[in-house]
Chains A and B, each alone.
Chain A
């Protein structure tokens, strides 16, 4: 028995092929019971707990404690707010509560920027859980959530397939899925998709991402670093290879998370939809890390635009949306981490969105003669792709080492 326990730990989510064997074996009873139209709720809770526990191996137990404490904090806050919202709706309270929900992640993000060390209250997945909690809070304020069951909320927050890195689901959507059991045909359709996603994920993560990230990238980085801080074409190689690696790694992971959710009878939303065929940067954000970008769109961009319009802060609609883009992307940059390259990455995309809007307006008004055909679409895709790749080079933090020896 001790042998088994010793050989199990450190099952980083979806990290190795063997993880899938354990995971699929563990959820087989769930799949069979869903096929026969039943949810094994208690067994599912058990699987959730065991696999979350295994994600944090013995050395990472402080992370596990942090996760539990964090879940308790968020759940209690949301519960209190739900009770409060039945009676009143003050903006101050709402903002205070939002701040309290964000407090852990603010500490987690600010600590390394100030002290250079990771905060002890951090754990893998803290930001994704924060997104889920804040989203729920906003929907409660909007009066969109009428029932609140604490157990269900925790189940939504700590849904194992997506706990560490999303996709970011919404409480209402998740609950709707969970309240009913899909009929056999629908469920088989989900299983078929899940298997397709799993194998596509294997190709992305264990073939493409491995080759790009573990084989090619280190070599190119070493060659580029050899001439640092002077430009060589190796740096361009680093840019493309890192960008593609990032996509295949994250999209592969997301496919796994969605596939496992489907097998568990929950239609977790997709995260990627062929992002590199985007014809402009706005379309890109509708295809790249979709659950994150939609979260930002709904809860930051839109909220800011509504509030600003209601209070008549800015008259000009174009100025307003530009400002909203910049704010939206700046916050996203900060969320990735308080380093110059993440923040610049955010601002770069904010600026990209502004220029994109400006160009579309210009084209509509003054460049009517400009043709629209396969060729111009192709040009647009090439420009967007290269812009995105350049922004990912910034995002990678490689330039920090390349120019400053990793000092900042």
Chain B
């Protein structure tokens, strides 16, 4: 028997499905997630959470919990029982919202802030700087792309101002890192050249943003992982009931002592046997010629500062030490390292960012660090105390004075001797 085919039964289901899908993405949805999901998101270190908006935004808007953004990189993954997230859960009335993992340098942080700018206004945040970011070429394109998301890009492009030196600089960096064939790269090239985007561009951007924001709202809730249950919760009860700084320091040193038994560097056993030992001979003297003195990262970092200043955000900066025994072994030039720190601090102080926890000289303090370049144990205890004091402080409107000269090549390439810095101040 011949079947009788008609158009509607063939195309009807598709048309309905497409309409439903468009409806789902276009409706002005505004789902909220539970405070438990936010708690998990805050320590998930998930890349999509970092890039997108929904979870970050809701956490920073919630009245129930005071989430303090912690912008940083690989050190945030060192979740021993003295990690700020564990300590805060036990002793403090705020919760860190961790943003950044290995390789998240200044520019990814700028874009991570981009989607939560209103929430950063007048807020307190923590920003952890690693001198290792300031390598000769700055962030690599693959690392940047890994942390780069359309939603943040489009959000930035929507308000990027071709007359602003900061935006033009950022646009140039985007073109360089994403390539001229990338869609965002193409639009950034317009901004970099000092041209406004076309109205077609803006329509496209706002259409895309709508779509991406809904995608974010629908799917980001599934991103948080088991970090909170597995790596934070069990450790909360391993801390003493009442806060006592000296006692915590002693406990931290005890933990560290027990967990650094297979090497002479004071490095966590597991890290040593998996990451160091297999390449140990190769690493000897390997960092002799490392230099962090000249890098585009200095201007990228300036974008971070500009964004924080614009929102009048109160920031506590932390500068990470390097393990001095390890530095001896790899031949890292400590003179160079201290000069790097001086250059970073100069850039901060010059513009009014005076709240700096400078731990650069703690690299030889026993059990301050968990491995080669990451703070842990005793270091976390000390840092946590500083953060708690910072959060407890009365809110005050910070006064920053940005200077465009930090965007320039001659700052990026400046050798930070006392003399050079003095000369640069007069420029």
- Residues A185 and B10 in contact, CB atoms below 8 Å apart: no
- Does B242 touch A at the CB level, under 8 Å? no
A188: which of B6, B181, B183, B186 is its contact (CB, 8 Å)? B6
CB distance from B8 to the nearest CB of A (A): 11
For the complex, what is the distance from the CA of A398 to the CA of B305, rounded to whole Å? Answer: 49
Pick the residue among A6, A7, A192 that contacts B5 (CB under 8 A): A192
Q: Measured between C-beta atoms, what is the minimum distance from B13 to chain A in Å?
A: 9
Residues of B within 8 A of A (CB-CB), count: 13
- CB closest residue in chain B, given A2: B186
In the bound complex, CA of A361 to CA of B262 (Å):
66
**A296 vs chain B, min Cβ distance (A):** 35
- Residue B7 CB within 8 A of the other chain: yes
Task: For the complex, give the distance between the alpha carbons of A39 and B273 in Å.
Answer: 69
Q: For this complex, into which size category does the number of interface residues on chain A fall?
A: under 10
Closest to A189 in B: B5
Find chain A residues with CB under 8 A from B4 CB.
185
Is residue A3 contacting chain B, with contact meaning CB distance below 8 A?
A: yes
> A19 to chain B: closest CB distance in Å?
16
**Are the CB atoms of B14 and A188 closer together than 8 Å?**
no
**A3 engages B5 (CB within 8 Å):** no
Is B63's beta carbon under 8 Å from chain A?
A: no
| Smallest CB separation, A119 vs chain B (Å) | 28
Q: A185-B5, A189-B3, A189-B5 are in contact. Are A195 and B10 (CB under 8 A)?
A: yes
CB of B10 within 8 A of CB of A3, answer: no
Given contacts A185-B2, A185-B5, contact A191 B10 (CB under 8 A): yes
Find A192's partner among B2, B10, B181, B186 (CB 8 Å cutoff).
Answer: B10
Interface bits A163-199 vs B (CB < 8 Å: 1, else 0): 0000000000000000000000100110110010000
The reply to whether B186 and A3 contact each other, CB–CB distance below 8 Å, is yes
Question: Cβ of A191: which chain B residues have Cβ within 8 Å of it?
Answer: 5, 10
Q: Is the CB of B2 within 8 A of A188?
A: no
What separation, in Å, do the CA atoms of A3 and B5 have in the docked complex?
42
Interface residues of B in 182-218 (CB under 8 A from A): 183, 186
A1-16 residues with Cβ-Cβ distance < 8 A to B are 3, 6-7
Enumerate chain B residues within 8 angstroms of A3, measured Cβ to Cβ.
Answer: 186
Q: Is the CB of B14 within 8 A of A195?
A: yes
Chain B: minimal CB distance from A112 (Å): 28
Q: How many whole Å from A153's CB to the nearest CB in chain B?
A: 32
**A185-B2, A195-B14 as given contacts; A6 in contact with B186, CB under 8 Å:** yes
Cα distance, A3 to B187, chains bound together (Å): 10
State the Cβ distance, A159 to closest chain B Cβ, in Å.
24
**Whole-angstrom CA separation of A189 from B7 in the bound complex:** 10
Distance (Å) between the CB of B195 and the closest chain A CB?
14
Contact status of A7 and B183, CB under 8 A, knowing A192-B10, A195-B14: yes
Closest 6 CB pairs of A and B: A188-B5, A192-B10, A189-B5, A185-B5, A191-B10, A192-B5
**Interface set of A (CB-CB < 8 Å, partner B):** 3, 6-7, 185, 188-189, 191-192, 195
